[in-house]
Amino acid sequence: MKNYAILLNFMVWTYLANAQPIINNVFNRNIASLNGKWHIIIDPYDNGYYDYRMQENPWGFFRNQKPANKSERIEYDFDKSETLNVPGDWNSQKPELLFYEGSIWYKRSFDYSLPKGKKLFLWFGAVNYQADVYLNGKKLGSHEGGFTPFYFEITNFVQDKDNFVVVRVNNQRKADGVPTINTDWWNYGGITRDVLLIEEDSIFIQNYHLYLNNQNPQQLRGWVQLNNNKSEEKVRIEIPELKLIIEGKTDEKGVFTFDRKINNLVRWEPLKPKLYTVYLYHGRQIMKDNMGFRTITTQGNKLFINEKPIFLKGICIHEEMPMRKSRANGYDDAKTLLGWAQELGCNFVRLAHYPHNEYMVRMADSLGLLVWSEIPVYWTIQFDNPKTYQLAEKMLTENIGRDQNRASIIIWSVGNETPVHEARIQFMKNLALKAKQLDPTRLVSAAMEVHVEPSNPFIYHVDDPLGEYLDVIACNEYVGWYDGLPDKTEKITWQTKYNKPFVFSELGACALFGHHGDSLTRWTEEYQEYFFNQQIKMLNKVSFLTGVSPWILADFRSPRRQLPGIQDFWNRKGLISDQGQRKKAFYVIQKYYKTR
């Protein structure tokens, strides 16, 4: 017990030491929404950030100033400018912004009477890609990374009336960014997720993690972390349905850890996603959360949920609503996308290639869908750049910090299809170790590379050195689309040196819905149907296969997909079209999943 407490403390501190500690479960806190119409200034030359000599003005020029007198020269006026909806990507809101990559300045005003002794935080669910945030003309700070939350404390800056928030959003792709300049998805820019004001007591519960001991499901373990390292603070956890009360005091780091025997808990699982209402108390603060509890273990290439073996019947999903041609967000979009996955017969979804919004993972909890969550360490990022590594690690920390209480998430993925070389192996090994350190209760994976010896071109080896550091090995394969024709699958044997669960994390082919022909005519529904029928025969021969997540649920936007009349900037590998129509291949996978 003592060793466990020491380990846990180390774990929590490691988590705290490296990034802005996440304020989790924000929707159940004392919040005020700043969603709605924000005034904007489209700023392709970054006029608001650089002067004409390109001298940076990190305080920003667009600070909502008004001319002091009739002679003063100010060449912008937020309040007379146009508006964009927040949350929302800008690409889908104005035709002229469809391809826009650059800066857009956002501004909105608000009043707020902050009671004495309270703290106030300005919180963003995500901004893609870089955000510089100002309040009442003062720069609060910046955040890089388009898919994780961040916040600034504004306790000492907020005024009762006429506060104004200005955010410079820049979505230009950066060679040293995460992702880098080359991706196969649309570069949606903007304040793409909720903006909230969070009011808390001076000392409050900042984050927590409650989970079952994977090796002993009668043990409920966890920690509760305050926003400061105040010891001897009373903390209480209640799960009324279990008649469970756990209480204690924080240690010198402001953390309360516990390890409690429990008996009558109904565990969360895909066909029975049992969620409990959990209450956490500190002082006057009452936090409520809906949580499921389950174990996840592996043995060889077998995967177990609650000690029962499971085959992952998955699908990959981008965070996009194809009918709207926009970023997905909110419970309705989550219900649509995950409802399609359920209709397909899935028990598993790979949320590609970046952390999706919180509504998605909470909906997965409710529907009983297992989740592969991923940071956008994608293709050819700068693996030898320490800044890029720090950024990737910060994204991983933010991803885990936000979602560690979601029972649906079983896998943290540290990347996708990255080229095998020493710098990349070190980079992703360190990310994998970091993920285990931040959350030892889940599995770590990545979509690795496959290799084929020229001397024997029909044996496909899953032996990427990265696999040494992963709990679940995975790879993408496109035999029959990028690699030969669908009948090539009949010649191929898969081998792996790893005795670990193995997932085909992508396989797919394109089809334009309603485009028909014979099964060897590319881009037809018949070709895509033939592709999957051939693939299934090959999958059934892979004895060590633990799961599969075809690429992809629905057609999605991509600047790389240009074939006129067929792609028109859409990647057509969806089993569902950009209008929500099921292609023939949808029913092939649906039938296959009924057999697994």
- With CA atoms as reference, report the closest residue to 83 among 43, 35, 127, 38: 38
Find where tokens 């004001």 sit: 197
- Asked if 506 is part of the footprint of ligand GCU (rule: CB under 6 A), the reply reads yes
The binding track of 138-177 with respect to ligand GCU, each residue x by CB under 6 A or -, is ----------------------------------------
Radius of gyration of the chain (CA): 25
For residue 181, which of 1, 448, 379 has the smallest C-alpha distance? 379
Angle at 532 between CA 552 and CA 576, to 5 degrees: 35
Closest distance of CB 506 from ligand GCU, Å: 5
The dihedral region occupied by 261, where left means phi > 0, alpha psi between -120 and 50, and beta the remainder, is beta
Which 437-476 residues touch ligand GCU, going by CB under 6 A? Answer: 476
Classify residue 208 as left (phi > 0), alpha (psi -120 to 50) or beta.
Answer: beta
Query: Looking only at residues 76 through 135 of this chain, which bind ligand GCU when binding is defined by CB under 6 A?
Result: none
Site string for ligand GCU, 405-444 (x = CB under 6 A): -----------xx---------------------------
> Contact with ligand GCU (CB under 6 A): which of 327, 573, 583, 584?
573
| Closest distance of CB 169 from ligand GCU, Å | 24
**Distance between CA atoms of 469 and 414, rounded to whole angstroms?**
11
- Contact characters 21-40, ligand GCU, x per CB under 6 A: --------------------
Name the DSSP class of 576.
B
* Nearest distance, CB of residue 316 and ligand GCU, angstroms: 8
Cβ–Cβ contacts within 10 Å for residue 8, how many? 19
Residue whose CB is less far from ligand GCU, 130 or 418 = 418
Q: Which residues inside 353-392 make contact with ligand GCU, applying CB under 6 A?
A: 353
Rounded CA separation 481/528 (Å): 9
For 385, counting Cβ atoms within 10 Å of its Cβ (0-12 exposed, 13-18 middle, 19+ buried), the class is middle
Q: How many CA atoms lie within 13 A of 496 on its CB side?
A: 27
**Residue closer to ligand GCU (CB basis): 36 or 559:** 559
Residues 6 or more apart from 7 whose CB is under 8 A from it? none
Q: What values do phi and psi take at 388, rounded to 5? A: -65, -40
CB of 551 to ligand GCU, least distance (A): 6
Which residue's CB is nearer to ligand GCU, number 63 or number 356?
356
Least distance between ligand GCU and beta carbon 91 (Å): 18
Buried/exposed 75-112: b ≥16 CB within 10 Å, e otherwise? ebebeeeeebebbbbbbbbeeebeebeebbbbbbbbee
Chain-centroid distance, C-alpha 398: 9
The residue (of 313 and 353) whose beta carbon lies closer to ligand GCU is 353
Give min distance, CB of 313 to ligand GCU, in A.
19
Beta carbon nearer to ligand GCU, 400 or 552? 552
Q: Which is nearer to ligand GCU, 250 or 416 (CB)?
A: 416
Residues 190-249 contacting ligand GCU, CB under 6 A: none
- Minimum Å distance from CB 183 to ligand GCU? 7
Number of residues that bind ligand GCU (CB under 6 A): 9
d(CA 190, CA 174): 16
Closest CB 48 distance from ligand GCU, rounded Å: 33
Nearer to ligand GCU, 439 or 477 (CB): 477
Q: How far is the CB of 558 from ligand GCU (least distance, A)?
A: 7
Give the separation between CA 70 and CA 63, rounded to whole angstroms.
19
Cα–Cα distance measured from residue 417 to residue 490, given in angstroms and rounded to the nearest whole number: 24
Comparing CB distances to ligand GCU, the nearer of 63 and 350 is 350
Other C-beta atoms closer than 10 Å to the C-beta of 486 total: 23
Name the minimum Å distance from CB 133 to ligand GCU.
Answer: 30
| Least Å from the CB of residue 466 to ligand GCU | 15
Q: Which is nearer to ligand GCU, 280 or 475 (CB)?
A: 475
Contact flag: residue 184 with ligand GCU (CB under 6 A):
yes
With tokens 């079983």, the residue in question is 410
Q: Residue 439 or 506: which CB sits closer to ligand GCU?
A: 506
**In the bound complex, which residue of the shown chain has the CB atom lying closest to ligand GCU?**
184
Q: What is the identity of the amino acid at 454?
A: P
Shortest Cβ 483–ligand GCU spacing (Å): 11
Beta carbon nearer to ligand GCU, 153 or 483: 483
Taking the C-alpha atoms of residue 506 and residue 482, their distance in angstroms, rounded to an integer, is 12
Burial 541-578 (b: 16+ CB within 10 A, else e): ebebbbbbbbbbbbbbbbeebeeeebbeebbbbbbbbb
Task: Count the Cβ atoms, other than its own, within 10 Å of residue 400.
Answer: 25
Residue 477 is a binding residue for ligand GCU (CB under 6 A): no
Min dist CB 92 to ligand GCU, Å, is 19
| Closer to ligand GCU by Cβ: residue 182 or 495 | 182
Structure tokens at 38: 């924000």
Q: How far is the CB of 353 from ligand GCU (least distance, A)?
A: 6
Beta partners for 239? Answer: 244
Residue 55 in tokens: 């001298």
Site for ligand GCU in 297-356 (CB under 6 A): 353
User: Which C-beta is closer to ligand GCU: that of 500 or that of 573?
Assistant: 573
Q: What is the smallest separation between the CB atom of 508 and ligand GCU, expressed in angstroms?
A: 6
| Of residues 12 and 545, the one with the C-beta less far from ligand GCU | 545
For ligand GCU, the closer CB: 444 or 507? 507
DSSP, res 480? T
Site residues for ligand GCU per CB under 6 A:
184, 353, 416-417, 476, 506, 551, 571, 573
